[in-house]
Structure formats: C-alpha cells, structure tokens
Structure 1
Amino acid sequence: MRERAFGAWVLAWALLCAGPAFAAETKMPPGLTGGWSGMRGFLYELGVGIQVRYVTELAYNARGGKGHALRQAGQLNVGLGLDLEKLAGVKGGTFQFTFTHRNGNNLNADMELGNLQLVQEVYGRGNVGRLTQLWYDQLFWDERVHLKVGRVTMGEDSADFPCDFQNLSFCGAQPGNIVGNYWFNWPVSQWGTRLRVDLKKVAYVQLAAYEVNPRNLEEAFYLGRFNGATGVMLPLELGWNPKFHGDLLEGLYKVGVWYDTSNAPDVLLPDVERQGRYGVYFVARQQLSHVLGSENEAQGLNLFVRLTYADRDTSAQDGQYTAGLGYTGLPGRPDDDVGFALGATHSNGRYITAQRQKQAQAPGTLIPRTEYVGELYYSLHAAPWLVLRPNLQYIRPGGNDEARDILVLGLKGALTL
C-alpha cells in the first residue's frame, strides 16, 4: 500500500500527459537520461524519487483573432519526493518538493482572440520560477486517515483532474478556471492543509483549508507569504471510487462545495461588498469498456463529466460544464490514446449587465458571453519518456461578443529527463 502510494507520486509526472486510465503503477518511470548507471533505481528503492520534466504547448490560430501566429508556452518541473518510511522508519510519512518555471507566450493575448479560456493551458501566472509544492503527508489509523500540511496547490486535492487536453476548459481543477482570482491552481501554491478519511475501500470524505492571499500571485520566487491574507478557502469533498464488471471498469466520482471567507465586491454593484464566496462542483470519470487480454490493461473507452457552479454575486463566470470521451490502446499502438471533449464557460448575466453599463460610459468596453469549445487530440507515446499530442480546437469565444470563431492547431509535448 505504501509502495503503491509512493509509486503513484513518482508516476504523477509521467501521467501528466498520459491517457485517461485511472490506475497508477509502482515501477520507476523511465527518462531520457536513463537510469544514471543504476543510481536512479537505487535512490528509488531507498525512498527517493527524482523527476525532471518539461511540457511544451504550441498553438496556431488558423482562424480568428487579428492575424495568424504561432506561439509556444512551456513549463519545467523539478521534483523530489521522499518516502520517509523507507528512509527513516517514519511509518506513513511522505514529503514532496516541486519547483516549476513557466515560459513562453500567450496566443490568446498576442492575437486578441477574445476568449475566456487559454488555448495553451500551461501558460499563465507569469514567466517565473515558483515553489509549487513543499508539503508533508502522514497516514494514520491503518492508512485510512491522510493529513497533509505545507505549501500546496488547491487543485491537487480538491476537484483534481488531469491535463490531457490543451485547452484550459478541460484541464485541472475546474473551479480555478472560472474563479481563478481566489482559487489558485498549479503552479501557484499557498499555505494549506487537507484531512482525508477513507470511509471504505471505495469512498472517502475530505476537508481542506487554504490561505487566500492575493500576494501569492506575485511574479517572483518565494518560500511563502506571511502577510496579506484576505481569508480562508474551505472545500469539502465526498468521493466514490467503484469498480464494475468484475473490477475491470474503474470509476471515480466526486462532489464538493467550497466557501471562501474573504469579502469581495459585487460584480454588478461594485460599491457593495459581499461577505464570502462559494460554489459547488461535480467530477465523474468512468471506464466504459475493457479489452480482455490486451497488452495495455487500461485499453478501452473512458468518459468524463465535470460541472461547476460559482455564486453570481462575485463571479464574472459563474459556471463551467465539460464532457469528453477517450479511448486508450489503438491497433499496433497499445499506449496511444485519442480524446474528444466539448465544454461551455458561462458568463454571469449580472456581470454582462455591468459591462454594458460601462460601455455606455467607455466605448470599447468588451461585452462577454458564454464560451463554447471543442477539442480533439491524438496522443502518440513516441518513447517511454516522450509524449506528443497534436490537437484541434474550435472555439466560439466568450470574452468578446463580437469576436470571430476560432480554429486552433495545437501540439502538446512532454519530455521526461
């Protein structure tokens, strides 16, 4: 159980651009630089996981915007994970450190596409290095109680979801996509803690508390901010992880609510300050089919559905709804997969009214609307350490109601060193 948990941490890097399968393995993930003359595997057996990974995303707007352009955005991750039970005999203890550095350019802004969601999800929060994770996790009570504390990202535990797609609509914890002014996803960290209790083998309940501090968005490297907090974010999540059809079809279902104790201005009445911000979310992932005797145990069809609603008093976008299908294991390519998703980001009607009022005083003010997006990708596992994922995105932009529909040709790649 402990080895599986630690292996899942190490493989999280390798799964960053992997297919939609749910199960994690415990073997040491491969890298371009190999086994370092046996040192990499030796450290892993001691309880030390080291991973260096670079993700790049290319995007070209074949339609939409003020012109055509190709832009690249990327992220370097350097991680260190320690299994303290192996290293020091601390039963159930795990430590994680992660440094990230983002770079590149944003096609959305450069070509004035007028959309709400990034077409390069890896872009954002500044081209700077950040301390993204610095936390300790402890298991208690026969490994049924998990307590984590330190510098964490909200989306790694609450409403978490992988980034298989390149459009931000389908990537990461969904609340951070629509209320990113106070729900900070990767790579921005904050002081936080999470208590998770496994009720049975297939169910859990967890409560987390995160510092809400706008200073965490400052574009600089720092170990932590100790002043400037405006409140506390409190997400509560219930999860169910069933297996159907003889344990061959695995699912994961989550429902959660959050409440931020910070005060915030009303989106329609800026002179009115609202006490607290809140929302609800639902995440479902289910494997629908399994191919017996296949080389890849995860081969089959997968489905996901995500729904998020935020309060209309303080949120410019008050909802996001996405659904998608993925198939892993293609003829002659057992590790490749293909994915397709549709989504909508709903602009709050009260915020639209406020923008129309501003437009009367300031011509040129943009009027938002609901944004619709579809994405299709093919994931080529070119080598154990290299994933290439060409994609096609079609978007009706929601940041500007006069903007033309957008067609983006993209390429997402991940290289493990």
Structure 2
Amino acid sequence: MKQILTSIALIFIIVTCIDDAFAQSETSKSLPVELEPYAAHAFPLEGWGNAVVDPQVPTLHGAPHLLGQWFGARRWLNRHGLYLNFALNEEYMGNVRGGRTRSDVLAGQVASELDIDWQRLAHVSGLWTHMLVINGHGRNFGYNLGDSVTNPEQIYGGRGNVVAHLVALYAEKTFLHKRIVVSAGDIPTGSFFAYDYVACSFMNVSVCSNFAPGKYVPGGRDWPSGNLGGVLRVFPAKKVYIMGGIFMVSPHAYNGGISGWALAQNGMSKVTSQVELGWMPWFGKHSLRGNYKLGAWYDNSRYPNLYSDIHGNSFQLTGQPRRYEAGMSTAWFMFDQMLVRNGPGVAEGLVAVGGAGYSQGNLVAMRDHEWIGLVESGTPWHRRQDQIGAMFQHMDMSGTLSLQQESSRALGMPYLSNQWGPVWGVQHWENVYEAFYSTHVLRNSTTMQFDFQYLQHPGATTTFHDAAVLGIQLTANL
C-alpha cells in the first residue's frame, strides 16, 4: 500500500509542477460563464464524435494536443481533410486489501488514429474513412486480483502481443443531408451500439465503452476487437435515431486473429443482427442534454449450453456431448442525463448515468448487469475540464453457470473458464463501488485520474475477501 500511495503522490507532484510552468508561460483562454440563452446549437461537441455526424462515437480529433500543431503539420493535414492523431494511456493499479493476491500492475497503450474527410481531400461529398491502430503492454490486474468478472482497469494488456493491433478500419457515407448514414468495414460493434462516453469517465471497464455482458461474447465484441459488417443510421428527427447493423461472427478467440489484421478468417458463416433506438433530448432553458437508448442483438450461431449434455443432464457427470443451442441474444437500456449545467460543453455539468443489460443465461456466464452513477464537471471549483464521479455496479451470474460449477465441485473437477476467464469458485454475484477525480494538466491535453474501487465478492464468488483497489491513470493526446 505504501508503494502505491508513494508512487501516486510522486507522479501528481511532478505533473503539477510541470503544469504550473506551462500555466505561467501561456495566457489561458477564458470562456464566458454566463451563456444566454442556453440553446442546443450553442454547445459544440468539442471533439466528441465523428467529425461529420455522430455525437456518440468519440475520436481523438478535436481535443487539445500536448505537442500543439506539430510545427504547422497538423494544420496543413487538417486543411486537406487528414486528421492524424496519437494518444498515450498508462494505468497503475493495486489492491491494498482483499483479493487473490496483493499485487500492483502497470499497463498501457499507444493509439494512432487516421480520419479522412474525402470531401476536402478529393471532393467526394459526405464520405469519411476511419482507421484506429493500437499497441499495448502490461498484465491483466484482474487475474492477479482473482476477478475475471469485472476488471478495474480500462487498459490491461489484452491487445495481442503484436506491435500494431487493428481496432477499426471502415468507411462512412452520409445521404439526404446527413439524415442517413451508412458505415461498412471492420467495426467494433460497441462503438456504435450500447455506447455511452460518459460511462468511460470511470476506470472500471465493465461499462466502458460498452457494457458487460454483451461485449464479451462473439456477437457483440467491443473495442479493441472489430467485426466485419455494416451499420445503417437513420435520423427521422433531430433528436431521434434508429440504428441497425449486421456483423459477421468469428468463431475464434480473437476477431481478425490476435493482431486484428486477419479480416478474412475462416468459419465466419454466421451473423449477428443489432438494432437500437435512441432519443437525444435537450430539456429546459439551460439545454440539459440527455441520451436514452434501447436496443438488442441476436446472433444466429450455435453455442454450447453451459450445463447440459444432449439429454439435459450435467455433461461433466455423464461424459456425453454438450448440448448446442442456436441463437444468442442480448438486450439493454442505457441513459445519461444532465441534471445541472455548468458551462457550454456537451457534458459540462452534473450528469446522471445508468443502465441495465441482459444476456441469455443458458449460454452466457453473466446474466444481467445494472449500474448507476453521477459525474460532475469542474466548473464549480474553477477547473472547467476536471471531473469527479461515483458509480455503483451490480452483476448477476447465470443460474445455469452455477449448476455447472456446483457439478464441478461435487465431482472434484477444476472449475471451467468461461467468457470472462478463469474461475475460482461457484459464481453468483458481484458489486463494484467506484469513485474518481480526474484533473486536466499540460494545456488540458493530459488527464490524470485518481481512482478508488471496492469490489464486493471479487470474481462473483466468496472465495476471496472483498478487495479495495487504488489506481491512477495518465492519458495524453500528443
């Protein structure tokens, strides 16, 4: 514990001193506090969203950058429709009590993104292409902790042991004045469906950027894993969208292989069909922005029942072949709603965030997941970009899974791994309590986040004591 606290304090002191030096050398840009009227069109998306149409999918473009304009190169590229960006993310985390072992882990990644506006580059109206490549390092802290159900870290080294892991490579075309948008290529499904950027303020990965259980099964794999397919978005009204998608389902452990570049994998004969309805209202004279989403997907592949053999008995007991069932489904309701506005930013204020997700318990180890939280921006304490937040999550494991694990225990057999990884006992439920403070430094291009999490029933079992976890995250747009 002393090592973790000392490291966090040292990092904070060093970066704060550097930030003070920048603050003395540059004149900060002041923004008006009183903005009348608070009209929806007065609040730019400030870098959130695809540069053309989509306020739901963040990109690196538009955020402040540590290295500024790259000696004018960035400005030249942008004029020609080329948006090239790099970001560094490092996370250090350790448990001060509880869990399988006392451990601390450093993990990180470098992300590179290229967005091309073909209107500027080649006069092709409404066409964009997007490419995101990352590499990563580090170990999975959840494994050391004895918790494969929820991972306290967003970045945990699960990127494949390669220099460049392909996350996304797709094209996007708008029609009818951006009321219809078609996207096609290698797409992380969770970057479009069941996505909430406010929940990504938290370090625990179970709600960022897509929720568990949906993102850990083949038909809904999320960032950094993409699926070949397409998405159709229709905006029948300014604040309403209807979205549908069809994606190929990979039977392999990694979509596109461990590097992500093997797009034409064998065995991709089945598809997942996804649909989502969204409402994006602005309430009252202060334009309190909200996002409400209801969706589901269905994967027509065949998957083994978690417990049953071909006759409905325990396959571990009888030794008979496992029962395979056609079709896996997931559904969700998600929201974020600004309660108090503090400034002009799209999420600048007190924002409530929550949701519930469900997956088919006979095939998926986690049956349901609920979460609720609050995020407050830093305007009240005169640091406009800073955030503070708290969240509660509850996760129920499948009853069918519990039957399988009770059978393993009765037969003296090792517990079987599932979609979440290793298992250390009969799994039932887990709660996660999280609080964080995030501060922006170095021209607002760098974020330092201090995080505390308390995991009740880590790994959804009572095998290990409840765990208290401290962490720090450093993110820099270069």
TM-score, reference length from structure 1: 0.90
Residue 389 of structure 1 pairs with residue 449 of structure 2: yes
- Say whether the 8 Å CA contact 2:45–2:346 is kept in structure 1: no
- Say whether the 8 Å CA contact 1:155–1:176 is kept in structure 2: no
- Say whether the 8 Å CA contact 2:355–2:372 is kept in structure 1: yes
- Say whether the 8 Å CA contact 1:60–1:409 is kept in structure 2: yes
Deviation at 1:115, TM superposition (A): 4.6
Tell me, in whole angstroms, the C-alpha distance in 2 between the residues paired with 1:160 and 1:385: 24
Q: In the alignment, what sits opposite 1:380? A: 439
Q: 1:253 aligns with which of 288, 292, 302?
A: 292
Q: In the alignment, what sits opposite 1:404? A: 465
Q: Which moved more, 1:55-64 or 1:116-125?
A: 116-125
Q: In the alignment, what sits opposite 2:374? A: 325
SS in 2 for 1:239: strand
Q: In the alignment, what sits opposite 2:356? A: 307
SS in 1 for 2:385: strand
- Say whether the 8 Å CA contact 2:350–2:377 is kept in structure 1: yes
Q: In the alignment, what sits opposite 1:77? A: 111
Q: In the alignment, what sits opposite 2:385? A: 335
Tell me, in whole angstroms, the C-alpha distance in 1 between the residues paired with 2:245 and 2:50: 23
Alignment CA distance shift 1:264-1:412 (3 Å)? same
Tell me, in whole angstroms, the C-alpha distance in 2 between the residues paired with 1:74 and 1:385: 17
Q: In the alignment, what sits opposite 2:411? A: 361
- Say whether the 8 Å CA contact 1:10–1:49 is kept in structure 2: no
Deviation at 1:307, TM superposition (A): 0.5
Q: In the alignment, what sits opposite 1:47? A: 81
Larger Rg: 2
What per-residue deviation string (whole Å, max 9, x for no partner) do you get for residues 368-392 of structure 1? 1201001100010012210000100
- Say whether the 8 Å CA contact 1:319–1:346 is kept in structure 2: yes
Tell me, in whole angstroms, the C-alpha distance in 2 between the residues paired with 1:364 and 1:248: 55
Q: Which moved more, 1:260-269 or 1:227-236?
A: 227-236
- Say whether the 8 Å CA contact 1:117–1:177 is kept in structure 2: no
What amino acid is the match of 2:446?
A: L
Tell me, in whole angstroms, the C-alpha distance in 2 between the residues paired with 1:219 and 1:115: 20
SS in 1 for 2:307: coil
Tell me, in whole angstroms, the C-alpha distance in 1 between the residues paired with 2:224 and 2:339: 32
Residue 195 of structure 1 pairs with residue 256 of structure 2: no
Q: In the alignment, what sits opposite 1:212? A: 249
Q: In the alignment, what sits opposite 1:17? A: none
Alignment CA distance shift 1:5-1:238 (3 Å)? same
Q: In the alignment, what sits opposite 1:63? A: 97
Deviation at 1:28, TM superposition (A): 4.1
Tell me, in whole angstroms, the C-alpha distance in 2 between the residues paired with 1:26 and 1:172: 15
- Say whether the 8 Å CA contact 2:213–2:367 is kept in structure 1: no
Q: 1:131 aligns with which of 161, 166, 177?
A: 166
What amino acid is the match of 1:208?
A: G
Tell me, in whole angstroms, the C-alpha distance in 1 between the residues paired with 2:305 and 2:328: 10
Alignment CA distance shift 1:27-1:102 (3 Å)? closer
Deviation at 1:150, TM superposition (A): 0.5
Tell me, in whole angstroms, the C-alpha distance in 1 between the residues paired with 2:338 and 2:45: 22
Comparing both structures, which one devotes a greater share of its residues to strand?
1
What amino acid is the match of 2:367?
A: D
Q: Which moved more, 1:331-340 or 1:364-373?
A: 364-373
- Say whether the 8 Å CA contact 2:48–2:56 is kept in structure 1: no
- Say whether the 8 Å CA contact 1:115–1:400 is kept in structure 2: no
Deviation at 1:156, TM superposition (A): 0.6
Tell me, in whole angstroms, the C-alpha distance in 2 between the residues paired with 1:48 and 1:222: 22
SS in 2 for 1:266: strand
Q: 1:29 aligns with which of 37, 45, 63?
A: 63
SS in 2 for 1:315: coil
Deviation at 1:25, TM superposition (A): 11
Tell me, in whole angstroms, the C-alpha distance in 2 between the residues paired with 1:246 and 1:186: 37
- Say whether the 8 Å CA contact 1:131–1:223 is kept in structure 2: no
Q: In the alignment, what sits opposite 1:151? A: 186
Tell me, in whole angstroms, the C-alpha distance in 2 between the residues paired with 1:295 and 1:7: 13
Q: 2:220 aligns with which of 177, 180, 183?
A: 183
Q: 2:267 aligns with which of 228, 235, 239?
A: 228
Kindly report the root-mean-square deviation, in angstroms, between the aligned alpha carbons of the 2 structures.
Answer: 2.6
What per-residue deviation string (whole Å, max 9, x for no partner) do you get for residues 275-301 of structure 1? 10002101101000113xx58675421
- Say whether the 8 Å CA contact 2:50–2:57 is kept in structure 1: no
Q: In the alignment, what sits opposite 1:16? A: none
Tell me, in whole angstroms, the C-alpha distance in 2 between the residues paired with 1:27 and 1:354: 47
What amino acid is the match of 1:243?
A: W
Deviation at 1:251, TM superposition (A): 0.3
- Say whether the 8 Å CA contact 1:84–1:93 is kept in structure 2: yes
Identical-residue share of aligned pairs (%): 26
Q: In the alignment, what sits opposite 1:288? A: 339
- Say whether the 8 Å CA contact 1:179–1:315 is kept in structure 2: no
TM-score, reference length from structure 2: 0.79
Alignment CA distance shift 1:362-1:182 (3 Å)? farther
Structure 1 stretches of 5 or more lacking a match? 13-20
Q: In the alignment, what sits opposite 2:204? A: 167
SS in 1 for 2:116: strand
Q: In the alignment, what sits opposite 1:116? A: 149
Alignment CA distance shift 1:5-1:29 (3 Å)? closer
